[in-house]
Amino acid sequence: MEMEGIYSARLLAFNFLGAADPVEFEEQYEIKELNEGQPSLPTELTLTPMDNTVTFEWKEGLNGGHEQTFVLETSLNSGDSWTNRFTIKESESKYLNENGKFKVNLPNLDPGVYKARLVAFNIIGAADPVEFKKRFEIIKLNQDQSQSEVRADIPDNTHLYMPLDESSSKSDVHYQNVKKEDPVYNNTVLKNSAQTGL
């Protein structure tokens, strides 16, 4: 029997005394047969830095008829190699938040500039990786690895420098590749030439 098509629905209530007039639903529904295959791409990817943790969220795509698994990967300092950071199955509801998106926290990453991507796969195959639009940076503030600062949306052409004086627990960040006509120029300063790049 062919099930695909556009359908209307109505509700009919009855009991031993008789039937009420049917009530038609205003909306129509389309039924499509889904072929088995690899999952579709996850959507609405966002990342949010907070203290020394980065939170990743996404909305799952269609699973291709089989349970899908998500792998969150990062790449350090714009390299071509990717590291698996987190793997979850779509059935793991503890990672679903109230808005229907999956949510994962990554704490205690090593200092550096990162990009991140998400791969969805099932028993049939994998969807293409989808990159998060923002890059983020972990800056080590002092010798204690647990104290870090996380910054998001780092431009590709910016070099980040910090003074050699590590006695301060606050980050004193300066930008080298900023032109005088850039709006950010007025709020930055290159203190001296004895600075080291991260």
User: Between residues 33 and 186, which one has the greater pLDDT?
Assistant: 33
Domain architecture of the chain: domains with CATH: 43-154 (2.60.40.10), 157-198 (no CATH)
pLDDT at 170 exceeding the cut of 80 = no
pLDDT of residue 145: 47
Region 56-66: mean pLDDT is 93
- The residue ranges of DSSP E strands in the chain, in sequence order, are 5-7, 10-11, 14-15, 18-19, 23-24, 29-31, 43-50, 53-59, 69-76, 83-89, 102-107, 112-121, 130-131, 136-140, 148-152, 160-163, 174-175, 195-197
User: Between residues 193 and 123, which one has the greater pLDDT?
Assistant: 123
pLDDT at 140 exceeding the cut of 50 = yes
Instruction: Give the C-alpha separation, 103 to 119, whole Å.
Output: 15
pTM value > 0.85 = no
Dihedral over alpha carbons 172, 178, 183, 188 (to 10 degrees): 20
Region 146-155: mean pLDDT is 57
Residues 75, 90 contacting (CB under 8 angstroms): no
Instruction: Give the C-alpha separation, 45 to 73, whole Å.
Output: 13
* Residue 143 pLDDT grade (very low, low, confident, very high; cuts 50, 70, 90): low
What average pLDDT is seen over the chain?
A: 77
User: Each residue of 6-40: pLDDT tens digit?
Assistant: 888 888 888 998 888 888 888 887 776 667 899 99
pLDDT at 87 exceeding the cut of 60 = yes
Instruction: Give the C-alpha separation, 66 to 98, whole Å.
Output: 23
Closest CA to 86 of 65, 114, 107: 107
Per this entry, what is the length of the chain? 198
**Residue for token digits 């590709």?**
156
What is the bridge-based pairing of β-strands 69-76 and 112-121? Answer: antiparallel
